[in-house]
Amino acid sequence: MASRFSDLVEDARLSVRSLIEYGENLFNPTVRLGVTGLSRAGKTVFITALVHGLLRGGRFPVFESLASGRIASARLSPQPDDAVPRFGYEGHVRALIDARRWPASTTDISELRLVIDYQRQNTASRTLTLDLVDYPGEWLLDLPLLTRSYEQWAAESLALSRREPRARLAAAWHAHLATLDPRAREDEQATLIAARLFTDYLRACRDERFAMSLLPPGRFLMPGNLAGSPALTFAPLDVPPDGAAPDGSLWAMMRRRYDAYKDAVVRPFFRDHFTRLDRQIVLVDALAAFNAGPEAVTDLEGALSGILDCFNVGRGTFFSALLRPRIDRILFAATKADHLHHTSHDRLEAILRRMVERAVSRAEFAGAAVDVVAMAAVRATREAMVQRGRDRLPSILGTPEAGENAGGEVFDGATEVATFPGDLPDRLDELFAGGDAFQGLTAAASEHANFRFLRFRPPQFAREDGAEPALPHIRLDRALQFLIGDRLQ
Ligand SMILES: Nc1nc2c(ncn2[C@@H]2O[C@H](COP(=O)(O)OP(=O)(O)OP(=O)(O)O)[C@@H](O)[C@H]2O)c(=O)[nH]1
Ligand SMILES: [Mg+2]
């Protein structure tokens, strides 16, 4: 009963906040764009490139309002939430352009506000405010926990960990789990060991050879200021999904901490960030999964569908907007398309479309506009045809990061090379049936893997007369046109 009452209070608070934001929106049109993606999907790079393109004026022929000169200016402005850190835009741009370094993994939430002055097609002057939020991708994995009890989560996590390639990475944790009696008295030491072994297992699954995506709870991998707290010290036990924990038992302790994790960590993130979004771009790094193998592709698909079920999509009516804003546009973007020759972009797009097919039809049914695109927010490569024996292979040229390797060669981070990463499969039914549709690093040594998508350094940017260079990209303009083009008409 207590939780029902607190849900009611929460709903009332959300409605009041929506009402205030709805009123502000009438005078000061605002788009709150959610940039969603699992860790390393490319969120921070995307936000940096988008803001740079709007501030500097990027080469965006498909972004109509900019290409036709109707955008008079864009500027950064103080963000709306005082308690959220500011997105480190300037640092990210300088690292990208001057040091040719990508941003480090994001460890906390941050926010940036951009104000765009533009001319409507009837020549009246208007302003659109764009709010962007960046956060660590790991946090996203937690959203599906909101609808799961401890017992359900434990059963799902255990079932998953008994499948290959996870099972071999879970051996130490499973061995410890076998020594635990969930109905025995609560035991802090046993819990600490279980949480540590479970976290080690999650971390091992994330290694690029396995590239597993479905790894909740997210803060176990990215704990931030909660490291070592009881809310992060629990693990799955082998308990029945519908059983009841005896008072004072290990099981009751784990369950209490899992609930604390949801209350203290997951719910605030969902409430303060996800329920306020108007539009979403969902970034997906499908190529990292292809490097690892068919198991990683299936796992990525599972992780995405769990997350996308949590979106509040559909065209808002006046009354529903008062209760909660809804997402009326979603763009699914396969990132890092610059790792492929352009002749493979259609396949990459088709693969992503297939991965998110259920979410797309649900969103379209609810009245939202949906699109899928293969994109690179910052293009790090060029294209070339390379002669290998009798074949001319569509290849890409770029500077692999120091330490990357392919075909027995380890790269130094300074030399440019031409690579042929492999043709993406076109028979999608086979691919998504799981099994052994192709070979990746999970099952084979790197020289036998079917794909090898290397990590490239950011490109050498061309500066004309010392001016700030435009960042090269692939279809970032198409993404922008879809996401905010209609609000700049
Ligand atoms: N070639 C290329 N690589 C990219 C691009 N975007 C991202 N990357 C690579 O992907 C890595 C991760 O990108 P981020 O933008 O930091 O990813 P993120 O989603 O913010 O990741 P977290 O902060 O860990 O959640 C980068 O370090 C780059 O190696 C792109 O447009 N092109
Ligand atoms: Mg990031």
Residue range 227-261, pLDDT digits in tens: 889 999 999 999 998 889 999 999 999 999 999 99
How many A from CA of 70 to the centre of ligand 2? 31
The Å distance, Cα 41 to ligand 1 centre, comes to 6
Residue of the nearest CA to atom 12 in ligand 1?
40
CA of 387 to the centre of ligand 1 (A): 31
| Predicted structure pTM score | 0.92
Higher pLDDT, 252 or 11: 252
List the structure tokens of 58.
């990027």
Measured in angstroms, how far is the CA atom of residue 384 from the centroid of ligand 1?
24
Whole-number mean pLDDT of the chain? 89
* Ligand 1 atom 6 nearest Cα: 42
Note the pLDDT tens digit of each residue in 414-460.
999 998 888 888 888 877 776 677 888 888 887 788 888 899 999 99
> Ligand 1, atom 8: nearest CA belongs to which residue?
42
| 258-281 pLDDT per residue, tens | 999 999 999 999 888 888 888 999
Closest ligand to Cα 476: 1
Between 125 and 409, the more confident residue is: 125
Q: What distances in angstroms separate CA 32 from CA 274, 276, 484, one per listed residue?
A: 10, 7, 10
Calculate how far, in angstroms, residue 191's C-alpha sits from the geometric centre of ligand 2.
Answer: 31
For the chain, give the percent of residues with pLDDT over 90. Answer: 65
Write out pLDDT tens, residues 85-135: 999 999 999 999 999 999 999 999 999 999 999 999 888 999 999 999 999
Q: Which residues line ligand 1 (CB under 6 A)?
A: 37, 39-45, 102-103, 105-106, 136-137, 335-336, 338, 376-378, 380, 455-456
Residue pair 461/97 in contact by the 8 Å Cβ criterion: yes
> Over the stretch 331-375, which tens digit does the pLDDT of each residue have?
999 999 999 999 999 999 999 999 999 888 888 888 889 999 999
Ligand nearest to the CA of 401: 1
The 10s digit of each residue's pLDDT in 290-332 is: 989 889 998 999 999 888 888 766 555 444 444 455 788 999 9
Whether 278 contacts 328, CB under 8 Å:
yes
- Cα–Cα distances in angstroms (integers) from residue 411 to residues 103, 292, 416, 422, 433, in the given order: 20, 20, 9, 19, 35
Query: Regarding beta strands 382-388 and 110-119, do their DSSP bridges make them parallel or antiparallel, or are they unpaired?
Result: unpaired
Better-predicted residue by pLDDT, 23 or 270: 270
Measured between its terminal Cα atoms, the distance across the chain in Å is: 49
